[in-house]
Structure 1
Amino acid sequence: MAACVLTRCLLTASLAGSLLLAGCDRQSGGITRVAAIGPTPRLVETVEAPLSPGDALVRANMAQGLVRFDERGQVVPGLAERWNVSDDGLSYIFRLQTGQWPDGRKISADEVARILRRQLRPASSNPLKDTLGAVSEIVPMTERVIEIRLSSPRPNLLQLLAQPEFGLVRASVGTGPFLPPTDDERATIPPAETKPGELLVTHRIHIPDAEDPVEKVRISGGNAKALVAAFADGDLDLVLGGTVADLPHAFREKMPRGALRFDPVAGLFGLAPTKRNDVIQDVEVRHLLSRAIDRPALVAGLRVGGLVPRATLLQAGLEGIGPPQQPDWVNQPVEDRRASLLAEANRLFRNGARPTFRIAVPDGPGGDYLLARLRYDWGPLGIKLDRAPSAASADLVWIDEVAPSSSPAWFLRRFRCEIATICVEEAEPLLADARTTLDSRQRASLFLEAARLMDDRQVFIPIAAPIRWSLVSGRVPGFAENPFARHTLVGLTDSSFGGGSR
């Protein structure tokens, strides 16, 4: 990897000014215009909370980890040019590419090991730290070789290391693949293409006879409504970071055919009960709430092709387990079970009084839809819903999180007693044993038993998989949907990327 010098980018201006100028001809300087829904993107050095879509995009593309994701969500070399896994799955050895940090210091295995260990130390607030709980040691073996030793096998380790939360940042800069433009590269960019409040990054490609050996991308942030409108007007090439909260905006604008894309992600999308309301502490009440939701109707109203209703914590396609068996009532017309639901409500609320629950749903029109749908389903039982101003004041909190790997562990450990307000103590030793066992079949069996206990106690009311959407113009044929909703900027304008294998 060629040595390079990075500069810290200061991003302070608002999106409004950038959108006014965004209508310039895209071919000026050959710059691809990308926006992520949310605050102005920046390169976060220390990850202490879930990353915004823009921050995740910048960190993934400017501060690669040992490995990174390609456009289809496959793991490819990052700072490590290659790696080997031991036969027992307990040792991953990575050979680093050659390169330098901005101050000219050579990138070394010793320094990379220190950065990774810092992300996993007890004091770290990295939201994905727990997913690497099987890491026992990170050891520099030579100047360019680093070993990660595990206490038990983790087939999904590379998927986790490719997440932007484990990108390698030192002194507020990373090693690419995208970097701030060099002076020579900046000289080729028309002044009108330098927008306030946007981050301009470049990536030198190695394609023989390429017309332009440098990929140039402008990254901005903003609210969904404004970005959707800008895309519809042709002022943006790619919009990323869409969720259920802002999905209705994408349907309200007239878009080119095929512009709206959905990532086939796994994860949690549903309601987590809290301990604020005594009524909801009753597991039978939680089961009643779950059975009363017309999942097929709710999912149909979201208009996302391929989205499947579910009533189990785990979902199909996870590593080491088969498709979870859904209860028979999930696809039964809600009218056919309403009489039994009403009888159950009368039994549970014997004094005739019906509860009012405060629910925290996402801000935006998508959250409005979810709240209206739940009111429609629970209203016939006499249950009322108020919108909570925050998760801290809610009886039920909408969870919308994408799984960082294909392991069932993430789903289950999300509701362990250390962090969940309602949990199953009997599942704790199962999760602990699953973390240490060397037998993959035993690990899967422990997960399935923990999932059964959690579903029986209804610690979570699942609806479906999360929704992650993008708006994609024909000017970025290298874009592809992927199961982690992490999108590389490499090769966006190359049809041989997203359209096929590299």
Structure 2
Amino acid sequence: MLRRLLPILIVSALVLEASACKPTPEGAVKVAVIGATPTMRDPALGPLSAPDAVLLTNVAQGLVRFDAAGNIVGGLAERWNVSDDGLSYIFRLSSAEWPDGRKITAQQAAKLLKRNLAPRSKNSLKDALGAIEDIVAMTDRVIEIRLIAPRPSLLATLAQPEMAIFRGRFGTGPFSLSAPPNANGFLRLTHEATVGDDEKPEKEEVELAGGAAADAISSFAAGKVDLVLGGTFTDLPLTQRVQLPRGSVRFDPASGLFGLVPSKPHGGLDDPDERRLLSQAIDRATFVTALNVPGLAPRATVLEPGLDGMPNPAVPAWLNTPIADRRTALLAEASRVFGKGDKPVIKIAVPEGPGGELLLVALGRDWGIFGFKVERAKDLAEANFRVIDLVAPSASSAWFVRQFRCDVTPICDPEADGLMDAARQTLIPPQRYALLQQAALKIDEKLLFIPIAAPVRWSLVSNRIQGFAGNRYAVHTLTGLDQKPGAGD
């Protein structure tokens, strides 16, 4: 028995010795975000790029922020209370300073937050925060947010990078932006992480840069970058063209909208019956399979399962009908709806990249049965449809339906808008949910949105990164990347 066990014990010892001798990565964690160089961009000026959002999330947290798994934790606020009626949120700020040493006060924070909600603000979450009546500094360290109606999703929205609190280049943490970009274009971020009450703070260092998707993927494959963030369906096929370590491609279970929005009124295809046939002709299953994203499923309704206070939307019966059977029925109706003459070219505003090309080819195949050709639109002005690819900032159904109100999209339904407005004003949650559900049904009936699936968000994660987790918001903190989940912030 001992003779048989001896070789096994020797091999096990050698493996353990090799593991112990394997060098632990040292120096700053290198992170690349797909897009341009990250900047401290004011969210009140308009939507944030992925690199800007990552920078703000980590250098200029809001009152609250997300941890790696998407849970809400304290940011600038150390604790908070919600009134019984849900109309008042009171936040107590931690004792913090700006990088220049001056104290961060509630008055400053309230002013900066209200700027994002001002009439001239172009913050992409301004509408989602429309229930905020006022933001008031009660003392130097206490802020109250007053609402016109309860909003269970408020904290998740406040944790988004669009609600970052910062002045110029100075943020409120958890990282500090300690230097301008180095020769390779990386920004250096530093963070003093407290591991235990009796232990000295550990210094975390991250180098952050933006870059083209192909360059970021190549750098990761070559071991020059530890983490790549900001991937979408547009650039996902690029990951299949490079030899990557097994398990390095990670997907967020993202919530939100991915599909087509009609964008040209009175320019053809503005009849709901026409859009209904086009929607039912899309072979979503084949397109989703081509993306090869675990858990991604075809979708045919504006709302998704699991939203606050809402029943799961009913799946149309046709969605589960084999595409060949659907096409037979659709072709029988096409001559009545589309006519028998020549068909115009359908032009679609699609992001550049192989994923966009994949979508164009799929739509060209599916709509070709009706005689349509599909082309990429040169600009939004000539597009019959535009692609919408957005991650929801919370689990509120209001965000989903309000993306299609009349002041946002050229083809809309005033009745749906009226239901949304009534839902915003009511103080009774069940009534609010019922109104939003009715608005969603009208959007689905009028085909103001042709859903395809959930939005795709992916990252590349090296073995060095232990503290990474996917989450429904696709918002990622850079704290604790070297630590296993649960080992610290």
TM-score by length of 2: 0.92
Could you tell me the percent identity over the aligned residues? 52
Letter matched to residue 205 of structure 1: A
Superimposed CA distance per residue, residues 32-54 of structure 1 (whole angstroms, 9 cap, x where no aligned partner) = 00000000111113432221111
Partner of residue 301, structure 1: 290
Which of 390, 398, 401 is residue 379 of structure 2 equivalent to? 390
Partner of residue 63, structure 1: 60
Report the CA distance shift for 1:501/1:97 in structure 2 as closer, same or farther (over 3 A).
closer
Deviation at 1:200, TM superposition (A): 0.3
Which of 470, 477, 494 is residue 483 of structure 2 equivalent to? 494
Contact residue 276 and residue 394 of structure 1 kept, 8 A: no
Q: d(CA) in 1 for partners of 2:463 and 2:201?
A: 19
Q: d(CA) in 1 for partners of 2:345 and 2:445?
A: 24
Superimposed CA distance per residue, residues 268-327 of structure 1 (whole angstroms, 9 cap, x where no aligned partner) = 100001125632111110111101001111111110110011110111111111211111
Q: d(CA) in 1 for partners of 2:106 and 2:459?
A: 37
Q: d(CA) in 2 for partners of 1:326 and 1:501?
A: 42
Deviation at 1:397, TM superposition (A): 0.5
Q: Which moved more, 1:305-314 or 1:169-178?
A: 169-178
Q: d(CA) in 2 for partners of 1:501 and 1:309?
A: 37
Does 2:239 match 1:250?
A: yes
Q: d(CA) in 2 for partners of 1:211 and 1:501?
A: 14
Partner of residue 8, structure 2: none
Partner of residue 460, structure 1: 449
Partner of residue 405, structure 1: 394
Partner of residue 335, structure 2: 346
Deviation at 1:386, TM superposition (A): 1.4
Q: d(CA) in 2 for partners of 1:427 and 1:456?
A: 11
Deviation at 1:362, TM superposition (A): 1.6
Report the CA distance shift for 1:351/1:380 in structure 2 as closer, same or farther (over 3 A).
closer
The alignment of Structure 1 onto Structure 2 pairs a total of residues equal to 466
Superimposed CA distance per residue, residues 70-94 of structure 1 (whole angstroms, 9 cap, x where no aligned partner) = 0011110000000000001000000
Which of 194, 208, 224 is residue 206 of structure 1 equivalent to? 194
Task: Give the unaligned 5+ runs of structure 2.
Answer: 1-22
Superimposed CA distance per residue, residues 445-472 of structure 1 (whole angstroms, 9 cap, x where no aligned partner) = 1111001111100001000100000000
Q: Secondary structure at the match of 2:404?
A: coil
Superposed counterparts of 1:413-432, under 5 Å = 413-432=402-421
Q: Secondary structure at the match of 1:289?
A: helix
Deviation at 1:390, TM superposition (A): 2.1
Superposed counterparts of 1:28-427, under 5 Å = 28=26, 30-181=27-178, 194-208=182-196, 213-275=202-264, 278-427=267-416
Contact residue 267 and residue 384 of structure 2 kept, 8 A: no
Deviation at 1:253, TM superposition (A): 1.4
Letter matched to residue 153 of structure 1: P
Q: d(CA) in 2 for partners of 1:103 and 1:195?
A: 26
Superimposed CA distance per residue, residues 343-378 of structure 1 (whole angstroms, 9 cap, x where no aligned partner) = 221112334222211111121000000000011111
Superimposed CA distance per residue, residues 377-397 of structure 1 (whole angstroms, 9 cap, x where no aligned partner) = 111111111111222321110
Q: Secondary structure at the match of 1:93?
A: strand
Q: d(CA) in 2 for partners of 1:216 and 1:501?
A: 15
Q: d(CA) in 1 for partners of 2:393 and 2:258?
A: 14
Contact residue 231 and residue 457 of structure 2 kept, 8 A: yes
Q: Which moved more, 1:201-210 or 1:313-322?
A: 201-210
Superimposed CA distance per residue, residues 105-126 of structure 1 (whole angstroms, 9 cap, x where no aligned partner) = 3211111111111111111111
Partner of residue 190, structure 1: none
Q: d(CA) in 1 for partners of 2:124 and 2:81?
A: 27
Q: d(CA) in 1 for partners of 2:73 and 2:337?
A: 54
Contact residue 66 and residue 159 of structure 2 kept, 8 A: yes
Q: Which moved more, 1:435-444 or 1:385-394?
A: 385-394
Q: d(CA) in 2 for partners of 1:181 and 1:145?
A: 29
Deviation at 1:212, TM superposition (A): 7.7
Q: d(CA) in 1 for partners of 2:367 and 2:382?
A: 20
Q: Secondary structure at the match of 2:290?
A: helix
Contact residue 45 and residue 172 of structure 1 kept, 8 A: no
The CA RMSD measured in Å over matched residues stands at 1.9
Report the CA distance shift for 1:257/1:317 in structure 2 as closer, same or farther (over 3 A).
same
Q: Secondary structure at the match of 2:260?
A: strand
Partner of residue 21, structure 1: none
Superposed counterparts of 1:427-438, under 5 Å = 427-438=416-427
Q: Which moved more, 1:52-61 or 1:382-391?
A: 382-391
Contact residue 39 and residue 222 of structure 1 kept, 8 A: yes
Q: d(CA) in 1 for partners of 2:270 and 2:284?
A: 23
Letter matched to residue 221 of structure 1: G
Q: Secondary structure at the match of 2:348?
A: strand
Deviation at 1:432, TM superposition (A): 0.8
Q: d(CA) in 2 for partners of 1:339 and 1:496?
A: 51
Q: d(CA) in 2 for partners of 1:351 and 1:301?
A: 33
Contact residue 88 and residue 146 of structure 2 kept, 8 A: yes
Q: d(CA) in 1 for partners of 2:320 and 2:32?
A: 38
Contact residue 279 and residue 285 of structure 1 kept, 8 A: no
Task: Give the unaligned 5+ runs of structure 1.
Answer: 1-24, 187-192
Q: d(CA) in 2 for partners of 1:109 and 1:212?
A: 27
Q: Which moved more, 1:290-299 or 1:211-220?
A: 211-220
Q: d(CA) in 2 for partners of 1:439 and 1:172?
A: 42
Superimposed CA distance per residue, residues 170-221 of structure 1 (whole angstroms, 9 cap, x where no aligned partner) = 1331111000349xxx9xxxxxx95432100000011248798100000011
Letter matched to residue 376 of structure 1: R
Contact residue 156 and residue 405 of structure 1 kept, 8 A: yes
Letter matched to residue 312 of structure 2: P
Contact residue 257 and residue 453 of structure 2 kept, 8 A: yes
Letter matched to residue 452 of structure 2: I
Q: Secondary structure at the match of 1:278?
A: coil
